[in-house]
Amino acid sequence: MRTRLAPGVPFSLLGYSFGGLLALELVLALEAEGLEGHVYLVDSSPDFLQTVQEHTVGHSEDQFEIKLICAMFNLVASHEATPTAVNQLVEKLTSLKSWDDRLEHFIGMLPNTKHSMTHLKAVGAAVYTRIKAISSYKWGHKKTIRSHVTLLRPTIMAVRTKEDYGLSQIVHGKAYFVLCLQYCDKEVEVHFVTGDHITLLDSKECATVINKHVVDYEAVMFKDSIMSKGHEVMYAI
């Protein structure tokens, strides 16, 4: 990224789901070098992801693996994931003792897809690794993010959570508001987008919010460059 950022030019970063954690870590690294910019978090924050992880897949290893596969079943084959089908899947998965056997059984029972068995196993392994990483993730930074943060969150939620996913918290005082810093220096800009965690990626609403910020920024930069050149011409005259 350093090779693509001109000196003093603000950066734009976007992180979706687990990628939001990586984006926040990267922002802190860039800000430590004196840079600032705009961060877009698409259905992501440390607190939110850990809440979803605890609610969805639990804590014990067996519970974690079985609930994770059931959650994947609901995501990739929602029409087939009836209560009866899910109960049958849980019963079968409980009888199996390893993650690899459980994942292979799950993939084998899926309806025909355009993806190969190898691809689906790789996806399952990646999801497993990322969920594990989320459960053990700790912020651990004394500094908070200075850059502007925009959160795009879906209207259909798996769990109840704070409006800004705990990125910053407004505490009501008797006669004023106090911004309690958690991850961000500034209050987070929040947009609700119709859909869920998956459909959010194809949402035109989501793209419109992001593109508007980019277009507005480019318009300001263009105006500033024109004004700067105008002053140079006037000075020359």
Q: Which of 10-19, 62-71, 110-119, 218-227 has the lowest mean pLDDT?
A: 218-227
pLDDT band at 6 (very low <50, low <70, confident <90, very high): confident
Q: Which of 21-35, 97-111, 182-196, 211-225 has the lowest mean pLDDT?
A: 211-225
Look at residue 234 in the predicted model and tell me its pLDDT.
Answer: 43
Look at residue 58 in the predicted model and tell me its pLDDT.
Answer: 67
Look at residue 169 in the predicted model and tell me its pLDDT.
Answer: 60
Look at residue 27 in the predicted model and tell me its pLDDT.
Answer: 95
In angstroms, rounded to a whole number, what is the distance separating the alpha carbons of residues 211 and 195?
19
Residue 25, amino acid: E
pLDDT band at 220 (very low <50, low <70, confident <90, very high): low
What are residue 44's phi and psi, to 5 degrees? -155, 145
Q: Is 152 left (phi over 0), alpha (psi -120 to 50) or beta?
A: beta
The residue written with tokens 């990628």 in the block is 19
Q: What are the residues facing 190 on neighbouring strands?
A: 151
Look at residue 54 in the predicted model and tell me its pLDDT.
Answer: 82
Helix (H) or strand (E) holding 221: helix 204-236
The overall average pLDDT reported for the chain is 83
Look at residue 192 in the predicted model and tell me its pLDDT.
Answer: 95
pLDDT tens readout for residues 94-146: 999 999 999 999 998 887 777 788 888 888 889 889 988 998 899 888 889 99
Task: Answer whether 127's CB lies under 8 Å from 68's CB.
Answer: yes
The domains of the chain are located at 2-42+148-236, 53-136
Full-model pTM: 0.76
Look at residue 218 in the predicted model and tell me its pLDDT.
Answer: 56
Residues 6+ apart with CB under 8 A from 3: none
pLDDT band at 13 (very low <50, low <70, confident <90, very high): very high
